[in-house]
Structure 1
Amino acid sequence: MRDYYTVKVNLPGGIVAPGALQTILTMARSAHVRTVRFGARQQLLMTVHYEDMRFLGKDLKQQSMPYEVNTEQYPNVISSYCGEDVFRAGAWLRESEYHTILDQFDYGPRLKVNLSDFNQSFTPFFTGNLNFITSPEPHFFYLYIRPKQTNTLFRWPELIYTNDVGRLAKAIEEAMLDGGCQTEDEVYKAVMAGQSFITQLATKEIDLPEFSLPYYEGFNRYGQRSWLGLYRRDEQFSVAFLLDVCALCLKTRIGELCVTTWKSLIIKGIEEKDRVAWSYVLGKHNINVRHAANELAWQTEDQNEDGANLKNYIIRFFAKNDTRTFGLCFGIQTRPKSEVFGSVLIRKRPLLQIGQLSLFSLYDIYFTENFNPNSRTYHLFEKGLFKLHLPNQLHRLCQKFNAGRIQEELEPVRQEIEKMEPAYNDAPLVHQCPHCFTVYDEQYGDERQGVPAGTPFGQLPVDYGCSTCDAPKEDMTAVQLVTVG
């Protein structure tokens, strides 16, 4: 008998009401669960001792909350809703459309379903089996199908209407899993044989947007409100902390919490008057929200201590060597066929395999086409590395990426640049936040925080913080603006 079980509760689209999460966490606490995790498919994961499992299972069933134990028969439907309003400015996919589509999944999908806005790069496009991606045509989606356990990707011939997404997903699932259809023609014929859907002809392939991972931690303002991003280095959130989060959400009338594919949590709609209460909860549980951006750009497999430890090992090397990782994200794959999202992929494999026993480990480094993590084409960079040599080779790959990006940016304007010289002499000093790179320029002040133009940095209030992420004044460093003319 196993001592512990892994319990998974799906949170469709990565959205959960504070009251519902509070109920789950209260039951988990009664089952002596002290920490939980969020998975790469925006689900809630917890480890439960076998003696407590029957009580937790009974409580979950009484609340009609579906769950799985040590299985992945029903993958969560994931979505880019977590970035709605705060990371993107898409043309037509809004809160109402997300909820309309998610409500259509009144069954437990057996295939991985991704629902993505094309105008964002915070959540992956193609890690699902059925990947719905917005098209330029309002209320119509591209659909890219990837059969289970393959890297084959093919596009559905038509664009799919919003109100038909769930019904089409179910029909495709039945054709592929129950009917044995795998090829593009087989699936299309089986689905369209007895049903009709509102569609438009898809005349061309989708063009992948450039990847840019936003800084998703800490307090950040949008409009008259703030959102709070919560990341844990060990991927574990204490139940006590999350219960306090749920209670404060209910008290301040925040209706939803968002789980991201980066195993973090985003809380939107925080009123300015409630910022002190949120800061109190963070302080009470000693929650740090000042991690470096390159530490946030990693994905590991769910419930995998080996991957998490390797991530932290490499990050320490990057910090020591001041490695520039902007524009990249990294994935660590320790199990064959596991889904990990990244523009740089680290694959672990045994040096020697004897039955089920793996002796020693080697690592291979791959990077995606154009370093875009949504690409399904991988190129080998280095093969057969020992752990000791892995960080330095990744550092070298980062340098290769940065050199290539600089070259791409310079080439179109090379002749103009040669005629210009940087003007350093009278360049003004500004102060920059090292966490989100926001700049305080005394020439403009900070109107949002009541600091008039012309206020020197040294005369800012002692409690002044970065206007974007609220980092303290002491963290900001003086830098010289370099103008070109």
Structure 2
Amino acid sequence: MRDYYTVTVNIPGGIVSVGTLQTVLSLAYEARVRQVRFGARQQLLMTVHYEDMRWLEKDFKQHGIRYETTSRFPNIISSYCGEDVFKTGAWLRESEYHTVLDQFDYQPRLKVNLSDANQSFTPFFTGNLNFITSPEPHFWYVYVRPKQTNRLFRWPELIYTNDIGRLAKAIEESMLDQEHQSEDTLYSAVTNGRSFITQPATQDVDLPEFSLPYYEGFNRYGHRSWLGLYRRDEQFSVAFLLDICTLCLATRIGELCVTPWKSVIIKGIEEKDRAKWSRVLGKHNINVRHAANELAWQTEDHTDDGTRLKHFLIRYFEKNDTRTFGLCFGVQTRPKSEVFGSILVRKRPLLQLGQLALLSVYDLYYTENFNPNSRTYHRFEKGLLKIHLPAQIDRLCRTYSSRRLRETSEALSVRSEESPVQILSVPPGHQCPHCFTLYDERYGDVLSDIPAGVSFDNLPDGYTCPTCDAPKTDFVAIALPDPAVL
């Protein structure tokens, strides 16, 4: 008998009602669970001692809470966690996400991804069924990846929002029960005797350039704020999350969002309630000022090996001031697991006796154009010892930065040749190092009632970042591009 069980509670689309989460956490606490994690597929994970497992199972069943101790039913993931707070498309909104999720009245056996095509916060192609918004309102691209393969093909048609659940179930039955794997036979099996609302898919989805937003701390959007919560060890205290649930209910916030970066986003925080949230963070000693490059990592679920390697590499980055802007990193320690990253570290045994790895080495890969949504990997180095890994990742980061600089320089050169420009004097800008918000005196700061023309030095001493509330003293001076050449 196992001493501990890993329990997974799926959170479809990464959206969980506060009341449901409070119930799950309360029952877990009664089962002596004190720490929980969130997984890369936006699910809730907890480790339960076998003596407490039967009581937790009984309580979960009484409350109608679905759970797993295996990985038979992967969670549906979605980009809803970034809705409103990050870049989103023209027509996909909260109601459309819920419309799609409500169609899944069964537990999918295939991995399902729902993605806004205009964002890069959540992955597009890590699922077996990948639904991505098209420019045509309420129609979606469908990309199918057969289980345990890296082969990806586009469905011949765009699918209407209200038919996504039905199509997903039909593809799953044809692929898993009838074992249709090729594009043509799968399409024939699914459409035989079934009709869906579709439009022709005439071209592939246009992938956005990757840019990971800063998703931690308090950030304003409109007249409200959202709060991103990240933990270095990926462990969230159950007591802290229960206090979060209590405060959400008291301030009329109905749901929380879990991200693929194993963090939590709470939307709709009113300005009058900011002090209450700060008190809860202070009570549990929660820090929300981690460096941006620390947030750009995805590790596997159910293992601490990848997390330890991540911390080892981050220490090197901090010591050597390695530039990682525009990149995200994945750490893969198991051969069949999947992580999301533009730079991928794969651990493998150099020598192995049965299940025992005597010596581990690391292979280093990067994706096509360093876009983490690409399914094409290029090997950069292989067989690295752990001590040599940080310097090689640093070298790969520099390769990426040099490529971007060269592409930018070539683009500016072309524009300069097309039309001569007048050289203007551009004042320096100042940037928040935490969320990268820019203060440009030519435009001022509308949210803080600072008119255009006020230099940074003349800002009041109490001025704070309009996005994350960092103090004025944290800002750093940067050179701004000349708008005449942009």
Q: C-alpha displacement at 1:416, in angstroms?
A: 5.9
Look up the equivalent residue of 1:336 and give its one-letter code: P
Counterpart residue number, 1:169: 168
Counterpart residue number, 1:93: 92
Q: C-alpha displacement at 1:454, in angstroms?
A: 6.3
| Contact 1:421 1:484 (8 Å CA) reproduced | no
1:3 has 2:8 as partner? no
2: CA distance, partners of 1:445 / 1:129? 47
- Name the Cα RMSD after superposition: 2.0
User: Structure 1 stretches of 5 or more lacking a match?
Assistant: none
Counterpart residue number, 2:210: 211
Number of residue-to-residue matches in the alignment: 482
Shift of the 409–457 alpha-carbon distance from structure 1 to 2, 3 Å rule, reads closer
1:285 has 2:284 as partner? yes
1:320-335 correspondence runs (5 A): 320-335=319-334
1:33 has 2:22 as partner? no
Shift of the 168–415 alpha-carbon distance from structure 1 to 2, 3 Å rule, reads closer
Counterpart residue number, 1:231: 230
1:345-384 correspondence runs (5 A): 345-384=344-383
Q: C-alpha displacement at 1:241, in angstroms?
A: 0.8
Q: C-alpha displacement at 1:200, in angstroms?
A: 1.1
Counterpart residue number, 1:12: 12
2: CA distance, partners of 1:200 / 1:481? 45
1:304 has 2:303 as partner? yes
Counterpart residue number, 1:449: 448
2: CA distance, partners of 1:80 / 1:193? 31
Q: C-alpha displacement at 1:451, in angstroms?
A: 4.7
Q: C-alpha displacement at 1:438, in angstroms?
A: 1.9
1:13-49 CA-to-partner distances (Å, cap 9, x unmatched) read: 0000111101100011111111111000000000111
User: Structure 2 stretches of 5 or more lacking a match?
Assistant: none
1: CA distance, partners of 2:414 / 2:197? 51
Shift of the 162–441 alpha-carbon distance from structure 1 to 2, 3 Å rule, reads closer
Q: C-alpha displacement at 1:336, in angstroms?
A: 0.8
1: CA distance, partners of 2:435 / 2:415? 31
1:48 has 2:34 as partner? no
Q: C-alpha displacement at 1:412, in angstroms?
A: 2.8
Counterpart residue number, 1:259: 258
SS of the residue 2:447 aligns to: helix
2: CA distance, partners of 1:422 / 1:379? 41
Look up the equivalent residue of 1:268 and give its one-letter code: K
Look up the equivalent residue of 2:211 and give its one-letter code: S
Shift of the 445–150 alpha-carbon distance from structure 1 to 2, 3 Å rule, reads same
2: CA distance, partners of 1:481 / 1:270? 33
2: CA distance, partners of 1:187 / 1:83? 33
1:55-75 CA-to-partner distances (Å, cap 9, x unmatched) read: 111111101010001x11000
Counterpart residue number, 2:101: 102
Shift of the 461–245 alpha-carbon distance from structure 1 to 2, 3 Å rule, reads farther
Q: C-alpha displacement at 1:478, in angstroms?
A: 4.1
Counterpart residue number, 2:410: 411
Q: C-alpha displacement at 1:210, in angstroms?
A: 1.1
Shift of the 478–375 alpha-carbon distance from structure 1 to 2, 3 Å rule, reads closer
Look up the equivalent residue of 2:161 and give its one-letter code: T
Shift of the 351–202 alpha-carbon distance from structure 1 to 2, 3 Å rule, reads same
2: CA distance, partners of 1:479 / 1:246? 40
2: CA distance, partners of 1:271 / 1:443? 30
Shift of the 407–109 alpha-carbon distance from structure 1 to 2, 3 Å rule, reads same
| Contact 1:420 1:484 (8 Å CA) reproduced | no
1: CA distance, partners of 2:238 / 2:328? 29
1: CA distance, partners of 2:27 / 2:453? 55
2: CA distance, partners of 1:453 / 1:229? 30
TM-score scaled by structure 2? 0.95
| Contact 1:422 1:484 (8 Å CA) reproduced | no
Q: C-alpha displacement at 1:422, in angstroms?
A: 8.3
